[in-house]
């Protein structure tokens, strides 16, 4: 290597070292200016992950207690303590359990209370059950075809055959109640009066 090449090599090395030093100084200036924000962001991210894990652990604990309470209630339905634990730890499961018990006991008052639930499934099923027990057909999202069959039955009892036929046409052929609908269609078409 000659002196000119050596000088260019040294110049290039010093230039890259200067650029590295300049980058380090810029980073240090940025860090000193924003270090509180950086630590706050790191702390917020860490707190988020820690709280997420803690919340999952707490929810798992509550679900475990609710499941134990449900098993106790299955063994002894009169266990008031287990019922309270279930209500405290898993409100939707408590409402579903209450619906099942009220439905079995045909407790219209309890079912009416459950029909006001925020849980749409329990509210819909309870309202349908109240209508069925009161023999007043009601609409239902989950028992739509059953509610339609009940309306058909009421229409036939009121001698409103046209309404009954319209309602029967709304039941899909793939429905589990399609055979019942066909029976009612035959019943209305044949003109059998009750």
Taking the model in full, what pTM does it have?
A: 0.65
Half-sphere exposure of 162 (CA within 13 A, CB side): 0
pLDDT of residue 189: 66
Per residue in 17-36, pLDDT (tens digit) is: 667 677 777 778 887 888 89
Segment-wise mean pLDDT, segments of 10 residues, the chain, 194 residues = 64 64 76 85 94 94 92 90 91 91 90 90 89 82 84 84 86 85 78 51
> For the chain, what are the domain ranges?
38-89
Place of tokens 């849980």: 119
Judge whether 114 and 123 are in contact, CB under 8 Å: yes
């Amino acid at each position: 290597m000659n002196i000119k090449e050596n000088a260019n090599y040294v110049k290039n090395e010093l230039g890259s070292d200067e650029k590295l030093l300049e980058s380090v100084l810029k980073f240090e200036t940025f860090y000193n200016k924003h270090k509180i924000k950086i630590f706050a962001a790191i702390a917020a991210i860490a707190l988020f992950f820690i709280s997420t894990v803690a919340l999952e652990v707490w929810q798992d604990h509550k679900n475990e207690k609710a499941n134990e309470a449900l098993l106790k209630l299955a063994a002894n339905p009169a266990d008031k303590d287990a019922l309270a634990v279930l209500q405290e730890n898993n409100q939707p499961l408590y409402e579903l359990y209450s619906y099942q018990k009220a439905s079995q006991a045909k407790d219209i008052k309890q079912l009416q209370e459950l029909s006001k639930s925020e849980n749409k499934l329990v509210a819909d099923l309870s309202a349908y059950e109240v209508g069925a027990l009161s023999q007043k057909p009601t609409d239902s999202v989950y028992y739509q075809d059953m509610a339609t069959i009940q309306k058909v039955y009421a229409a036939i009892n009121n001698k409103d055959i046209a309404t009954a036929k319209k309602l029967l046409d709304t039941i899909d052929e793939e429905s589990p109640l399609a055979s019942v609908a066909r029976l009612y269609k035959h019943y209305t078409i044949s003109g059998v009066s009750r």
